[in-house]
Structure formats: structure tokens, C-alpha cells
Amino acid sequence: MTIDWMAFLTVVVASLLSACLLVTLFSVALRLNDGPAPWRRPVSVALFVVCAAVVVFGIYLIVPFLHP
């Protein structure tokens, strides 16, 4: 019986960071979308674009053709 605890720890840290990153980006984007200041909208849209990039990276990881 061998458990690769190091690999498990890597999985925990990686999933924690990536999930929290995506949720933070999306939440901040929603928050900035809502307010009168003129600078908020473009920043919010930019953050949504970053979210989309994270999702695209997810697709890249899922589809084996895309990474050798």
C-alpha cells in the first residue's frame, strides 16, 4: 500500500488556487460591473475576459490533442 501524499498535496494546492482564482476574478468582475464610476465597466469587462481565458485553459487541459 503506497499513497503518494506529495502528489495528493499538489492536487489539493493546485485545485485550491485555481478554483479560488476563477471565483475571485468572476466575483470582482461582478462587483465592479455594478457602480456609477466610469472606470469600473472596462475593468470588469477585462476581468470577464480573463475568466474566459481561464475557462479556455481548462478546455486546453481537458482535450488531449491540444497538449502533447
Partner 1 sequence: MDVSLLVALVIALALIFDFTNGFHDTANAMATPIATGALKPKVAVAIAAVLNLVGAFLSTEVAKTISGGLIKGGSGGVQITPALILAGLIGAIVWNLVTWLLGLPSSSSHALFGGLIGAAVVGAGFGAIDGGVLVSKVLIPAVLAPVTAGLVSFLATKVAYGVTRKRERDRFKIGQIFTSSLVSLAHGTNDAQKTMGVITLALIAAGVQPTGSGPAIWVIGACAIAIAAGTYTGGWRIIKTLGRDITDIEPAQGFAAESATTATILASSHLGFALSTTQVASGSVIGVGLGRKGASVRWGTAGRIALGWLITIPASGVVGALAAMLSQLGLWGVILDVVLALGAILTVYLIARKRRIDARHFTQPAPGVFVRPKRRKKKPASVAAVSTGEAKAG
C-alpha cell of residue 10:
499538489
Q: What is the 3-state secondary structure (H, E, C) of the chain?
A: CCCCHHHHHHHHHHHHHHHHHHHHHHHHHHHHCCCCCCCHHHHHHHHHHHHHHHHHHHHHHHCHHHCC
Q: How far is the CB of 42 from partner 1 (least distance, A)?
A: 17
46 binds partner 1 (CB under 8 A): no
Q: How many residues bind partner 1 (CB under 8 A)?
A: 37
Which residue, 42 or 52, has its beta carbon nearer to partner 1?
Answer: 52
59 binds partner 1 (CB under 8 A): yes
Q: Which residues bind partner 1 (CB under 8 A)?
A: 1-4, 7-8, 10-12, 14-16, 18-20, 22-24, 26-28, 30-31, 33-36, 51-52, 55, 58-59, 61-65
